[in-house]
A and B are shown apart, each in its own frame.
Chain A
């Protein structure tokens, strides 16, 4: 359908290089047996094994995992409820549009504004309770805040692609409301819920900006640790850690892509 334009293909490949050169560079330095310099000194996994003996990195990893697991669990439930509530009720089109805007907002609003707003909220909440001292709790609340919208958007698009015929059928067959939710709605939207949850998880693991503004001295996460290392001085261990983080995210994204594509 189109004449082959070499310049188009060339630009496409150039874009790909631009996108992947950073990851390749980090990966290269993570398996190069040289603490300094770029010359290839042979393959090594030394930097990776060292990760498991570094107490700070282990601590940051544990923090990141707790944070991601808890915030993902909360935001998946809240986001799914939000999507169902918005999509399955007789809202007027105007109200519907308003809600749409509201859940799209965290996707469009710059991270740094969200981070500052959260810091502001915690500063006020601290007047009420000491629990809102910057730490794991504020991190979790902060992450849930930006995850909700992503989960809701993905579940909502799943609900929309399902339509209402199954609901009507279930109701016609005298399904109770609970039975309907448990045996009809939930299994049908499950791929969306899982995809939303997985993406919320990667968002949390990879988030830097929100964490940077809402963490405390005892709740360093992996991206914050990496950032601090960039400022302090990079080591091959950090490259190894970053490579693992990149691979982890890539794997989850591929899983989500495959899962959602199959269901289309």
Chain B
């Protein structure tokens, strides 16, 4: 949307010069009319830079450069007291791959794999809930639809620590779910349903469902129902209707939903920290340990770099999909 409007404006102004980038580079002093103002590219660019340079420098100094430095730090050594010793080493990478002091150990590799699996299952569960949810919202009449939407948006912004610990209350001993489980013989009498996978997945799905539902809704809202009707008229089976008529139409929203669910789910540490135990540790918990407890920055940096790489891979896959049909970010709603 923005892109096309922008291109139109560009076309309007660059009628004097055919090559846009060329205009910016060579004829920067040439006088032109830009949105009703007589000016030159040079002064326009100076003005734009004056506005956007401070925040861009801010983001570069505090985010971009440190991220690069983190990758470098992965190859340095941890000193005896947690200081950084400038001795290059591959020790951190080796440790990550499982080669520790006492031979090969699957722990870290398992945690990496688990991060993928837990994020994947969370994403699938969220998709399974988000489709009926967004279809239900899209078929509501006007006011009720806005109400439902706000109900989905609110949890998106609320505090993650509170939302996670709330499940401790719900799943705690003597609460109905734990009693039911005890009655069924799944846990001991008076036991609780945390820490464990059930608690972690409840925490994950209830946290990330809005991340999936909101972008998906943007697509469902624009559904061409006639195609679905046609599929029904042609006696398509439910699965067929979904894969042939619904999925292709909602793919852009689904893609955004998957990326904004999968990536943070993979990196989460609060939910697993509060609701899980050692058996549900994810890479986020490991990173947090290195920085907050072990004071092993180089190894923490190696883990963070790995997580960054995993994020970049996800984004690259997403980008390739999105290039086919771009549809903005989750925040487009605002």
Contact = CB atoms under 8 A, between A and B. Distances in A.
A112 B209 contact: no
Nearest to B206: A18
Nearest to B319: A101
Q: Which of B7, B52, B135, B229 has the most CB of A within 10 A?
A: B52
A199 B157 contact: yes
B36 A148 contact: no
Interface stretch (A49-57, A65-73, A86-94): A86-94
A152 interface: yes
Nearest to B167: A22
State the 6 A-B residue pairs at the shortest beta-carbon distance, nearest first.
A85-B52, A89-B48, A110-B267, A22-B166, A171-B36, A85-B51
A252 B137 CA distance: 22
A78 B161 contact: no
A15 interface: yes
Contact of B269 (A14, A25, A84, A112): A112
A119 B54 CA distance: 21
A123 to B, nearest CB: 8
Interface SS of B by simple majority: helix
B5 A110 contact: no
A182 B264 CA distance: 40
A150 B334 CA distance: 10
Interface stretch (B39-47, B101-109, B183-191): B39-47
A102 B59 contact: yes
Interface string B296-334: 010011001001100100010000000000000111101
Interface string B131-166: 011011101000000101111111111111111011
Nearest to A256: B334
Interface residues of B, number: 112
Given A85-B48, A245-B159, A246-B158, A12 B35 contact: no
Nearest to A39: B174
Nearest to B63: A117
Contacts, number: 305
A12 B133 contact: yes
Nearest to A164: B35
Contacts of A26: 162, 165-166, 169
Contacts of A206: 157-160
Contacts of B13: 90
A79 interface: yes
Contacts of A254: 150, 154
Interface in B227-253: 228-229
A93 B3 contact: yes
A76 to B, nearest CB: 11
Interface string B277-313: 0000000100110011000010011001001100100
Given A16-B151, A25-B170, A145-B58, A11 B34 contact: no
Interface residues on A, range: 35 or more
Contacts of A144: 58
Given A90-B10, A254-B150, 9 more contacts: A8-B136, A11-B133, A11-B136, A78-B55, A110-B266, A118-B62, A156-B2, A250-B154, A257-B149
Given A9-B136, A12-B137, A117-B63, A253 B157 contact: yes
A186 interface: no
Interface in A21-61: 21-23, 25-26, 29, 37-38
B69 interface: yes
B184 to A, nearest CB: 20
A237 B151 CA distance: 26
Contacts of A7: 132
A96 interface: yes
